[in-house]
Structures are given as structure tokens and as C-alpha cells.
Amino acid sequence: MFWKKEKKQTLQKGQQNLSLGLLKEILANLEDAEIVERQKPEGQCFTFIYIRTLIDQERMNEALFEPVLHCTNESIQDCISTSKAEEIFTLGEAEKQLLAGSVIIFDSLKKQWWSVLLTNNLGRSIETSDTETILYGAKDSFSEQLDTNITLIRRRLPVTELKSEKLKVGSLSETTVVLMYMEGVTNPEFVSIAKEKINKIDFDLFFDSSQIAAFMEDHQNSIFPQFQQTDRPDVCAYSLGIGKLIILVDNTPFVLIGPVTFFHLFQSPEDYINRWPVASFLRLIRYISFILSITLIPLYVALTTHHYQMLPLQILFVLVESRSKLPFTPFWEALLMLIILEIIKEASLRMPTKSSQTLGVIGGIVIGQAAVEAGFASKVLIVLVGVSAIASFLVPNYLVTKANTMIQFVFLLLSSFLGVFGIVLGMIIILAHLNSLTSLRQPYFAPVAPLYWKDWIDLFIRGPLTKMKTRPDHLHPFQKWRYSKRR
């Protein structure tokens, strides 16, 4: 079969001996590939082969050309002090090194091939996180450079127990993935599961950590994220400290944290900065907001369509007055407004910051006010849509917010058919689904189901830090205690 043939050829290419002719053949039609020949006064000739756009050209002159051409030592390795030279033997190795940002040097006299890594470290500086902003606490966030990201974590956890393992994924993108965990804290089963999953990935291109997550998730058809994605080093360091592992992906500022539970996605870095009663209150508000965001509009439809007898008379008067001139049923009215809201939300995300502010004004005042006056929506619904939209943003994880929207639409449909009963049926399905999910093969709905009572101190409320003496049981950490037992 033809693909087997091609595989065989690739294998041969990888093992083929190096020659200038073959290298030139590979680099044909590569505009940015350079082959430079330099001769020493005594006659020894060196050929430098590199891809201009991948290397630091300023460094090349001072770190490579000058030392090599003026070197009197036997070996190139001894001449280059600022970078590390490695001897290479096969065409495959040369190709790999070239694409990684190395300069290949051919010593014509000794017939030796060397590679010197001179990668061009392009990248932005360390900036504040846009997706998880907090008022107090560290402001730095990850960038696209893998080494910088590792440094940011290592600075927070300066211990040798913090292990990092490098893996490669993507047959075309050759993306570097780094798995980090705390040896002696993180359960090794998580590490082996993660490694097994990464090694099993068979795909060509990876540009983002969420693509890696898509291959590593236990339940790919679920709307709930089974890995936490963050660009905050402090969140990563905290997660490592309590027994989770993290996966860093090259060229991505977002890091994957696993295993996670549904409840981890409601935790914010600020929870551990605020005083514990305040943090607990805010966390409870977040859960209430989540429930409100998915049930408020469906409840409006359920009450106005099926169970108006549930409402006190005064509220009923307000509702009847508000809906008296509307041409649509509550379901269509709510559906229309929710779709408009989603359009505004998506548009404001894609537009420049200044334009999105204008969009907010147009969406909030013009469309909202005009919809009521034109008789498309009731005032009560506009209020509820606004509350529901704001409530959905209280969940710190953006992926959960998006899942909220989908749930809201499904609940809307159920409530129009079955009223409150439909919403409850929908909730059962969601809870049963969450109960069946796993993240790195660990229960997603822990510590509620399966039940770990002790972990409830940091679940719906955030208990005092001094009382949180053990790491979460549901993560099965090797070191259970968070303080020295001698104390």
C-alpha cells in the first residue's frame, strides 16, 4: 500500500548519512535557508547551514563565526563557549536540528558535522492576564514561550521535587509538551495516565493547549471542560502544590490543569487572598449565579406558560401588565432575546475594546429599550435577561460560561414543554451527566459524588487556611498533610 511505502522512505531518510548534496536537496526552494562557506587562512573550510528566520543572527557572528574561524583547538566543541555544539551523524538529525533553530557546521577537513542551537527567542513580554483578572495578587501571566512559562512556575515552587517531563505531539507541528508535577505529592497514577494519553495522541497539528485537551479528555462529547485552562502561574503553582499536574504547551499561554472537578472551575485565585468569610460569601454567590444564569429565563417561561398560579398576585399583575401587548408566547419572546444577547456577547468579544463599549451601550440601552417599546419583549424579561447575562459572567471559567449558555437554551425548551418539571428533569440529566464524567479518570463531581466530607471545607465555602491542614482527599495526594508534623 502506498502509505506504507512512504513510511519506509521517511525511515530511510532519517537514517541516511549526511552529505552536503543531500542537505542542499532538502533545503531547495527554502528562501530563508542559507549555506555559507568560510575558509580559514590555513585552508580548512567550514560550511554553515541554517534557516535565517529561525536563528538569532546577531548572536551567530559573535558566538559562532568568529570563534570557529579563529579557533586553534582540535575540536569545534572546545571553540564555542557561549553555546553548546553537538556532533551529528544522520540526515534526519540535521533536518530536525535545522528546524529547531540550530546552525549546522560541516568541517570539510575532518569530515565532521556539528549543530549549535541559536534559536531566535521571539516573544512578547510578561503581561497581566486578560481572562482571569484579579484585583489583588500577582499580575503576571504566561506567554507563548515555554521556557518563560516554566520559569514563572519554578520561581513559585523552588524545589527539586517539581519535576518536568518533555514530550512531543503533532507529526507536522512537532509541538513540545511539558508535563509538570510535584514528586511525592501528586499521585503517580495521574502522571502515568497523562503520559499514556499524550503518547497516544496521533494528529498532525497542535497550536493550542485546548487541542491537546480535546485528545486527552475522557469524555469528548461533553459540554463541560475536563481540564482547567489558565494563564496564571499562581493558579498552576497552587494546583501543583495540592497534588494536581499541569501540562504546558509550546506557543500557548494557556496551561492545562488536571485532574479537575466541576467545583474547581468555580474557584478563583482571589478566594485565597480575601478573608475567608468574604471569600466564602463570594464563592456562594458564584454558585447561585451559575444556577440563576441557567434557570432564570426558563423559570420565567415556565411560570408564565404553565404555573402562573405559583406567583403572588402582585407579581402576577406586574407580569400580566408587562406582557399584555406582546405578540409572542413567552418561549419565543425569551428565545429571541437570548439569541440577541448571545449575538451581542460574541460580537463584543471579537471587536476592539473601544468599539465593544459602544456595542454594550447599543445592546443594553438601544436594543433593550427599543425591544420593550416596540412590543417585542416585556420589561420583566429584559430585566431577567440582564440579570442572567451578568450572573453568567461570575463563573471564573470561560468554558463553563459557554456551557451555561447551551444549558440555558435546553432548559428553555424543556420549560416551555413541561414547566418547572421540565427544568428539574433537565437538572437531573445535567447532574447525572456530571456525576458520570471523569478527568484523567478521576470523578469529575467529587467531592460531592463520590463523597469526601473533609474536602467540603474548600468546596461551597472557602474555610480558614489554618484549618485546611490536609490536601484534598479526592486527589489522593501522597503527602496528605500541608504542614510539618513536628509543629
Partner 1 sequence: MTSISIENNTSSFNGIYVFFIANRLQLLYFLYVMPTVLTHPYMIWGIILVGIFSQLNLILLSKWLSSEHASKGYPGFVHLFGQWMMRVFAAVGIVVIGIKVTVVTLGYVEIIHQFVFPSMNPNWLIVFIMAVCCYTASLGMGNAIRFSVIAFLCSIWMILLFYTFFMPPIASLPDLYPLIPEDWSNISWKGLLLIWSSLSGPEYIVCIAHLLNPRGSFLKYFTFANTLSVLEYLVLFIASLFFFGSKFLSLSKFPIVTMARYLQSPIFERVDIILICLNIFNLVFGVSIFLLCFYGALRILGKKLQTNHSKWGIQIICIIASVWLIAANKWIWREEHQSLLLNLEIWGSSLTYLLVPLFLLIFSRKKRGL
Return residues touching partner 1 (CB under 8 A). Answer: 183-184, 187-189, 306-307, 309-313, 315, 418-425, 428-429, 431-432, 435-436, 441-443, 445, 448-451, 476, 478
We find the least distance from the C-beta atom of residue 436 to partner 1, in angstroms, to be 4
**Dihedral angle of Cα 314, 319, 325, 326, to the nearest 10 degrees:** -170
Q: How far apart are CA 396 and CA 38, in angstroms?
A: 58
We find the least distance from the C-beta atom of residue 429 to partner 1, in angstroms, to be 6
Residue number, 370 or 428, with CB nearest to partner 1: 428
Using alpha carbons, select from 276, 292, 462 the residue that is nearest to residue 394.
292
We find the least distance from the C-beta atom of residue 230 to partner 1, in angstroms, to be 24
Residue number, 287 or 478, with CB nearest to partner 1: 478
We find the least distance from the C-beta atom of residue 450 to partner 1, in angstroms, to be 6
Contact 64, 116 (CB under 8 A): yes
Cβ atoms within 10 Å, residue 350: 9
Residue number, 203 or 460, with CB nearest to partner 1: 460
Residue number, 67 or 259, with CB nearest to partner 1: 259
We find the least distance from the C-beta atom of residue 124 to partner 1, in angstroms, to be 38
We find the least distance from the C-beta atom of residue 391 to partner 1, in angstroms, to be 16
Q: What is the DSSP letter of 274?
A: S
Q: How far apart are CA 259 and CA 241, in angstroms?
A: 13
User: b vs e for 178-200, b when ≥16 Cβ sit within 10 Å of the residue's Cβ?
Assistant: bbbbbeebbbeebbebbeebbee
Q: How far apart are CA 165 and CA 247, in angstroms?
A: 10
Residue number, 67 or 419, with CB nearest to partner 1: 419
Residue number, 48 or 445, with CB nearest to partner 1: 445
Q: How far apart are CA 475 and CA 455, in angstroms?
A: 10
Residue number, 184 or 277, with CB nearest to partner 1: 184
Residue number, 167 or 431, with CB nearest to partner 1: 431
We find the least distance from the C-beta atom of residue 120 to partner 1, in angstroms, to be 40
Q: How far apart are CA 135 and CA 141, in angstroms?
A: 14
Residue number, 103 or 440, with CB nearest to partner 1: 440
Q: How far apart are CA 143 and CA 230, in angstroms?
A: 11
Residue number, 125 or 160, with CB nearest to partner 1: 160
Using alpha carbons, select from 250, 253, 261 the residue that is nearest to residue 227.
261
We find the least distance from the C-beta atom of residue 310 to partner 1, in angstroms, to be 4
Contact 452, 470 (CB under 8 A): no
Question: Which residues are paired to 103 by β-bridges?
Answer: 116
Cell digits for 388? Answer: 442572567
Which residues fall within 8 angstroms of residue 235, CB to CB, at 6 or more apart? Answer: 132, 228, 257, 269
Residue number, 13 or 163, with CB nearest to partner 1: 163
We find the least distance from the C-beta atom of residue 302 to partner 1, in angstroms, to be 9
Which residues fall within 8 angstroms of residue 168, CB to CB, at 6 or more apart? Answer: 174, 175, 176, 177
Q: Give helix 398-436 / helix 276-305 axis angle, nearest 10°.
A: 80
Q: How far apart are CA 273 and CA 135, in angstroms?
A: 10
We find the least distance from the C-beta atom of residue 319 to partner 1, in angstroms, to be 13
Using alpha carbons, select from 420, 449, 422 the residue that is nearest to residue 436.
449
Q: How far apart are CA 210 and CA 206, in angstroms?
A: 9
Give residue 456's Cα distance to chain centre: 26
We find the least distance from the C-beta atom of residue 417 to partner 1, in angstroms, to be 8
